[in-house]
Structure 1
Amino acid sequence: MEKNKTPLSSLPRERLLEYGVQALSNQELLAILLRTGSKKYNVMELSGLVLTTFPSLYELKNASLNELQQISGVGQIKAIELQAMIELGYRIHRSNQPKFGKVITSFDLAQQLIDEMKDFSQEHLLCLYLNTKNEVIYRKTLFVGSVNQSVAHPREIFREAVRCSAARIICSHNHPSGDPTPSENDRAFTRRLKQCGEMMGIEILDHLVIGNAKYVSLREEGFWD
């Protein structure tokens, strides 16, 4: 037996790390999920046996616990794990991207954000990530800082946009003083965001500055002209 030979059970994992999950065959994916083989079969052989017993994924999807356990090397635990994996995959397939309302106007959005942010004693930078229909698919507070200080970097904002496949972004931050008048730093930060967005093909729809009972939209102010 060759020394230091990589075990068959780890090969699919290594291939996934090197080439990505889409490069793996059904047998390799199943071997990763099964994790271990049996006394008679290694994990690759066992996954091959499962796929031979159920030649199509459709048949595997509809296999009962009893049918799975008829396969040599698949006991109750592995049968349960396989059914759980199949059901989870089915639920993932049926799932939709969560949405948190649709942005119609900056005014309507700002009224919601005033209620949410007006009493914060520190600056909060909140980003809303939208799809092409202006539906909010993700929102995240990316920075909480001391009063009148903001050091958030555009890369943090766009990293989240890429992660959730956003087409557009609206940024908002509060002024704890209650006065929403944009500072020069606010304008410079917005300018950087717009430039980054143009390079990445992700539109910055607006930057809202939230005060005690008022707001300023840098887009409405003409900053986008």
Structure 2
Amino acid sequence: MQLTSLPNSLRPREKLLEKGAKALSDAELLAIFLRTGLPGMNAIELAQHLINENKTLHNLFNASIDEFCAQKGLGMAKYVQLQAVLELSQRYMQESFVRDAVFNSPQAVYDYLTLQMRGLQQEVFMVLYLDSQNRLLKDEILFYGTINAASVYPREVVKAALKNNAAAVIFSHNHPSGIAEPSQADKLITNKLCQALQLVDINVLDHIIIGGESSVSFAERGLI
């Protein structure tokens, strides 16, 4: 059934205007983004099909460009639109978060980092520079690696921390494999970084590994 054949109360756009976005299902929200369906399948039905095929919205939104464009009803234009929407959403959330961000617990850091590292296919090493009250001064990706490893250089980390007048830092890197457990190499480089920053009186508060939906805090594990 075409959406135009549905009563206004069941049409996603009209429903959103009347009741607000929270009243819509995942399929209805996605249908607004898709705008049109396919022969024999309206936009809501297509949206539900895509959700079912990908299991979760997370999987759909984080599909590679080839995986995304290969799916029924999607293509390059939709991929570009989706990436723009996701990036705008991330920047909005980051802007709201940073305004009063005080990193006084691993959970607070994790919430922030999930905004930064969502969907990254490549391993990166990020540093959060904090003032003496643990307020965020700046975040920065210092090193990019392959999907398996990132090369991290203590001298560059120290230089960047001093440049940003940091009183403390928090390290983070992602494991695109989805497994957050630290490797022996992760532990070794963290120790080297702690020793290097100690020489210039900058505290290392934590190193958090993000792996899919899970995370590991070195501070909580007693590794720092």
Partner of 2:188: 188
For the aligned residue pairs, the C-alpha RMSD in angstroms reads: 1.6
Partner of 1:48: none
Structure 1 position 144, deviation (Å)? 1.2
Partner of 1:152: 152
Is the deviation greater in 173-182 or in 160-169? 160-169
Partner of 1:218: 218
Distance 1:200 1:105, change over 3 A: same
Mapped contact 2:190–2:207 kept (Cα < 8 A): yes
User: Which stretches of structure 1, 4 residues or longer, exceed 3 Å deviation after superposition?
Assistant: none
Partner of 2:128: 128
Q: Counterpart of 1:123 in structure 2: which amino acid?
A: E
Structure 1 position 118, deviation (Å)? 3.8
DSSP 3-state at the match of 2:199: helix
Give unpaired runs (5+ residues) of structure 2.
1-97
Give unpaired runs (5+ residues) of structure 1.
1-97
Mapped contact 1:180–1:215 kept (Cα < 8 A): yes
Structure 1 position 149, deviation (Å)? 1.2
Structure 1 position 152, deviation (Å)? 1.5
Q: Deviations over 1:9-55 (max 9, x none)?
A: xxxxxxxxxxxxxxxxxxxxxxxxxxxxxxxxxxxxxxxxxxxxxxx
Pick the structure with more helix per residue: 2
Mapped contact 1:123–1:174 kept (Cα < 8 A): yes
Structure 1 position 100, deviation (Å)? 6.8
TM-score (norm 2): 0.54
Partner of 2:34: none
Q: Counterpart of 2:150 in structure 1: which amino acid?
A: S
Partner of 2:27: none
DSSP 3-state at the match of 1:219: helix
Partner of 1:204: 204
Q: Counterpart of 2:171 in structure 1: which amino acid?
A: C
Paired with 2:124 and 2:171, the residues of 1 have a C-alpha distance of 10
Larger radius of gyration: 1
Identity of aligned residues (%): 33
Partner of 1:167: 167
Partner of 1:82: none
May I ask how many residue pairs the two structures share in their alignment?
Answer: 127
Q: Counterpart of 2:146 in structure 1: which amino acid?
A: S
